[in-house]
């Protein structure tokens, strides 16, 4: 056999696909919807999930222009508590309490209600706030 094997398929010089910024932004925002699967969104658009992860990173960095997302703010209501009666020291005992044990924090999030009564140390408050902001 003296035939040389040559490919009949045309040689592609630039097979890289190009996507518009609007398309990338649309796909990224679709993948950021609550409950969305990155793999499913990528497959639905004929992309590799790794490419979509890269686009999400670029989107957060601001490479696709200003984000149209706005931060959701929660309403805050501050109610004045009645002034607690002053405590008198008895004898030589000094109290380290500064009235903090009478404190109260109440958070309403949808149907959820979080109450913190009494002395809430910084670590407890930080934990509550971190649990509210995923």
The closest of 133, 86, 91 to 114, measured between CA atoms, is 133
C-alpha–C-alpha distance, residues 134 and 109, integer Å: 14
According to the model, what pLDDT value does residue 64 have? 84
Tell me if 51 sits within 8 A of 39, measured CB to CB: no
- pLDDT range class, residue 91, cuts 50, 70, 90: low
For the segment 20-78, what is each residue's pLDDT rounded down to a tens digit?
A: 999 999 999 999 988 999 999 999 999 999 999 999 999 988 888 776 556 667 777 77
Percent of the chain at pLDDT exceeding 70: 62
Tell me if 79 sits within 8 A of 114, measured CB to CB: no
According to the model, what pLDDT value does residue 126 have? 75
Per DSSP, 116 falls in state: E
Q: What is the pTM of this model?
A: 0.41
Hey, what long-range contacts does 60-65 have (CB within 8 A, 24 or more apart)?
A: 64/21, 64/24, 64/25, 64/28, 65/21, 65/25
């Amino acid at each position: 056999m003296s035939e040389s094997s040559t490919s009949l398929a045309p040689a592609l010089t630039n097979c890289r696909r190009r996507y518009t910024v609007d398309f990338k932004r649309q796909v990224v925002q679709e993948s950021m919807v609550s409950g969305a699967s990155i793999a499913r969104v990528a497959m639905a658009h004929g992309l590799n999930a790794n490419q979509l992860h890269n686009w999400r990173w670029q989107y957060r960095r601001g490479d696709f222009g200003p984000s149209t997302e706005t931060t959701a703010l929660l309403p805050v209501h501050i109610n004045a508590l009645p002034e607690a009666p002053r405590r008198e020291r008895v004898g030589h005992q000094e109290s380290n309490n500064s009235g903090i044990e009478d404190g109260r924090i109440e958070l309403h999030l949808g149907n959820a209600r979080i109450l913190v009564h009494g002395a809430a140390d910084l670590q407890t408050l930080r934990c509550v706030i971190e649990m509210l902001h995923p």
